[in-house]
Chain A
Amino acid sequence: QKEVEQNSGPLSVPEGAIASLNCTYSDRGSQSFFWYRQYSGKSPELIMFIYSNGDKEDGRFTAQLNKASQYVSLLIRDSQPSDSATYLCAVNMISGSRLTFGEGTQLTVNP
């Protein structure tokens, strides 16, 4: 079992729709969770982080965390073509400063 697993892509949604990106993790003691966006050929940039169970909203983005189910998701409302990118889920395992990344989900938003 991989330590961090993301839903397999690629994911394609029409412009204006909600895109749902999912991530599960194996270490029950994980404390912090990050979503990064990576455009093709570029470095990852932080979208959101979440530490507590529940929802966290920032503009069109909502991160959801359920520690009991070891599940974290990212919802993108009113998806735009500029949201087309690979989204990386990263989990900080209980061991400390090591972020473990999923393989990413490629999202395409069609005009």
Chain B
Amino acid sequence: DGGITQSPKYLFRKEGQNVTLSCEQNLNHDAMYWYRQDPGQGLRLIYYSQIVNDFQKGDIAEGYSVSREKKESFPLTVTSAQKNPTAFYLCASSISWVGTDTQYFGPGTRLTVL
């Protein structure tokens, strides 16, 4: 089955810890995205990648980092610099970065800071 997988489904982080969220897609999509969703809110863009080995900051990149070494993988690291990381994190992909291309979402990772 083609799709987007995210792991883990739930993640707990202690203060001062870095954690990495995994996102993998087998749709052969060029573009990948990371969003954050807080309760009762829409999605806010953290980082996006239009093509392998390239990525750009979104609207709320501070305290996060990404890499795009392989076309199918776009991991997100939540660093200790992110002061309020508790949220629902969603990875998405699209065929290309053209604006008319639909973005499809993975199942999400729910991160909680203890």
> Measuring CB to CB, which residues of chain A are less than 8 angstroms from any residue of chain B?
4, 31-32, 34, 36, 42-46, 49, 51, 88, 90, 92-94, 96-99, 101-104
B100 and A51 form a contact (CB under 8 A):
yes
Asked whether B99 lies within 8 Å of A96 as measured between CB atoms, the reply is yes
Is B102 a contact of A34 with CB atoms below 8 Å? yes
Tell me, rounded to whole Å, the shortest Cβ–Cβ distance linking A50 to chain B.
11
Q: Are A97 and B43 in contact (CB under 8 A)?
A: no
Q: Is the CB of B103 within 8 A of A99?
A: yes
Tell me whether A92 and B105 are in contact (CB under 8 A): no
Q: Report B's interface with A, CB cutoff 8 A.
A: 31, 33, 35, 40-45, 48, 50, 58, 90, 94, 97-108
Instruction: Provide the bound-state CA to CA distance between A99 and B33, in Å.
Output: 10
Pick 30 A–B contacts, CB within 8 A, sort by A. A32-B99, A32-B100, A34-B102, A36-B105, A42-B107, A43-B108, A44-B90, A44-B105, A46-B102, A46-B104, A49-B100, A49-B102, A51-B100, A90-B43, A90-B103, A92-B100, A96-B97, A97-B50, A97-B94, A97-B97, A97-B98, A97-B101, A98-B45, A98-B48, A99-B33, A99-B43, A99-B103, A101-B42, A101-B43, A103-B42
